[in-house]
């Protein structure tokens, strides 16, 4: 390494350390929001033929982190991931330092074995004694693996002959399913018209804890129906899968062991640095059979050094693949599996605390009275709408409240909470209690801050 590059690296680590410290300080903003034109005026993002000095680059690095959303802030509740785990961050740093791909044991011997161990542990937590799996670039891709496997198991010649000779295939999913199901239908050549959206009411939905309600239809009952009709059952546990770690709450996933495949994102709820996503299946050889093309320039079968079945590249959609296993292996090795269960319990405790406080407050109304996981959905009604009779006009006015609340909190930098509509329901706040450092006091702050912002809202 050149000396200037080494100096830059050391200084950059100092910037990161300071950023993490300030990000977790409640006195600082969750985000110092700027419009695009303002950011471009504050930072020279242009790329030129000649490089910049260390001082110029480090100043830009400092600004880049400052004006980013501080996802480690205790009051960042905008996404299904929030907070920072220093063990996981250490793993991410070492992963980047190793700078290798896990497509063969030859290139990543230790990481290959770590991935194997993590995937086996995840399968055992689901309730499978055998199977296979792969880390993927996100839950959407894991869902694609599941639906591709469903087609391949029923029609294995689709690998070589395509879909033209097949009967019209259908995907059955919840009307509240993640949009990736439709995208997969497009990518697989099935078309979105052949995605059958099963109706569900506001209390239940047929996909495993993914979006907002987080009330669960018993998976074992769905599995029995699927088995009776020879239908592949894929569970999108991208978020809710982490509930399996909790001895107290894993009953919410009862029946998941009957599924054919599962998507699970440990970066949601378990604080593994973004991103960490796994596809898991109880069918041991299906990934390799479905995807193997035996590219001999990469996956030689006559290697003398080791068992080539350890090479995972030929059972993946990708060739080069980031080592996402090391950071979660390191976290589970250092903290223990029981720690993950306690963390899920803590998050559920915060959600229940917030729910109970909302019930007590004037101007707040729960969308779902008894959520089962860590999303708490609610409306805040500003003074200008209180006492106004229910009507379409009132619903339209209430629909405008959440965007104003969101704009107010972001401009103040005080916190970040998501909002959304659903069906014919007006926009509501969707609070996710997954932050590593959030407390009950933060739940009180949220309600107080919404009242402060909302007091002046006119719709």
Helix axes of 86-98 and 325-335: crossing angle, nearest 10 degrees: 140
Q: Is residue 382 part of a domain?
A: yes
Region 47-51 average pLDDT = 95
Please tell me the predicted confidence (pLDDT) of residue 370. Answer: 83
Round to whole Å and give the CA distance between 168 and 156.
15
320 and 305 together in one domain: yes
* Segment 410-457, tens digit of pLDDT: 999 999 999 999 888 999 999 999 999 999 999 999 999 999 999 999
425 and 292 together in one domain: no
Q: Give this prediction's pTM.
A: 0.92
- For residue 7, the enclosing domain spans 3-30+32-68
Q: Is residue 459 part of a domain?
A: no
What burial letters (b/e) apply to 336-372, b meaning 16+ CB within 10 Å? eeeebbebbebbbebbebbbebbeeeebbebbbeebb
CATH number of the domain that 109 lies in?
A: 3.40.640.10
Round to whole Å and give the CA distance between 121 and 112.
14
Contacts of residue 285, defined as CB under 8 A and 6 or more positions apart, other chains included, come to: 132
**8 Å CB contact between 217 and 205:** yes
* Segment 293-345, tens digit of pLDDT: 988 888 888 998 999 999 999 999 999 999 999 999 999 999 999 999 999 99
**8 Å CB contact between 147 and 357:** no
305 and 360 together in one domain: no
Round to whole Å and give the CA distance between 328 and 94.
12
Round to whole Å and give the CA distance between 229 and 287.
23
408 and 345 together in one domain: yes
Residue 210: is its pLDDT beyond 60?
no
- End position of a domain, from candidates 335, 350, 376: 335
| Count of domains observed in the chain | 3
Residue of 417, 413, 447, 445 lying closest to 430 (CA atoms): 417
**8 Å CB contact between 151 and 169:** yes
275 and 421 together in one domain: no
**Mean pLDDT of all residues belonging to the chain:** 92
Region 166-183 average pLDDT = 90
């Amino acid at each position: 390494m050149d000396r200037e590059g080494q100096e830059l690296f050391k200084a950059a680590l100092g910037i990161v350390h300071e950023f993490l410290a300030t990000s977790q300080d409640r006195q600082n903003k969750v985000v110092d929001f700027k419009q695009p034109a303002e950011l471009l005026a504050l930072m020279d993002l242009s790329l030129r033929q000649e490089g910049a000095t260390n001082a110029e680059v480090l100043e830009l690095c400092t600004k880049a982190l400052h004006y980013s959303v501080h996802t480690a802030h205790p009051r960042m509740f905008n996404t299904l991931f929030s907070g920072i785990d220093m063990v996981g961050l250490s793993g991410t740093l070492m992963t980047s330092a190793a700078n290798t791909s896990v497509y063969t044991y030859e290139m990543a011997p230790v990481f290959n074995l770590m991935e194997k161990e993590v995937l086996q542990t995840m399968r055992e937590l689901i309730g499978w004694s055998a199977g296979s799996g792969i880390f993927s670039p996100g839950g959407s891709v894991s869902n694609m693996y599941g639906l591709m496997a469903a087609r391949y198991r029923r029609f294995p010649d689709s690998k070589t002959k395509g879909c033209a000779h097949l009967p019209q295939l259908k995907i059955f999913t919840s009307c509240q399913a993640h949009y990736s199901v439709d995208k997969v239908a497009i990518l697989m050549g099935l078309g979105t018209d052949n995605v059958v959206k099963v109706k569900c009411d506001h209390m239940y939905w047929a996909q495993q804890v993914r979006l907002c309600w987080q009330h669960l239809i018993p998976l074992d009952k769905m599995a029995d129906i699927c088995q009776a009709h020879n239908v592949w059952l894929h569970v999108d546990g991208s978020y809710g899968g982490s509930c399996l770690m909790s001895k107290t709450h894993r009953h919410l996933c009862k029946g998941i062991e009957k599924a054919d495949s599962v998507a699970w994102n440990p970066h949601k709820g378990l604080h593994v640095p973004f991103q960490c996503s796994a596809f898991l299946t109880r069918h041991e050889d299906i990934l390799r059979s479905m995807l193997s093309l035996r590219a001999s320039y990469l996956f030689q079968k006559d290697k003398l050094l080791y068992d080539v079945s350890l090479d995972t590249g030929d059972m993946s959609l990708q060739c080069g693949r980031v080592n996402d296993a090391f950071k979660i292996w390191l976290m589970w090795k250092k903290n223990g599996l029981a720690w993950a269960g306690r963390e899920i319990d803590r998050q559920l405790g915060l959600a229940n605390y917030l729910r109970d406080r909302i019930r007590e407050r004037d101007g707040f109304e729960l969308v779902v009275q008894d959520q089962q996981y860590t999303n708490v959905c609610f409306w805040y009604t500003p003074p200008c709408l209180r006492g106004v009779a229910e009507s379409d006009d009132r619903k339209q006015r209430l629909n405008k409240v959440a965007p104003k609340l969101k704009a107010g909190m972001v401009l103040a930098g005080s916190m970040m909470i998501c909002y959304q509509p659903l069906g014919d329901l007006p926009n509501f706040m969707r609070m996710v209690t997954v932050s590593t450092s959030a407390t009950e006091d933060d739940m009180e702050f949220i309600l107080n801050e919404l009242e402060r912002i909302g007091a002046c809202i006119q719709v």
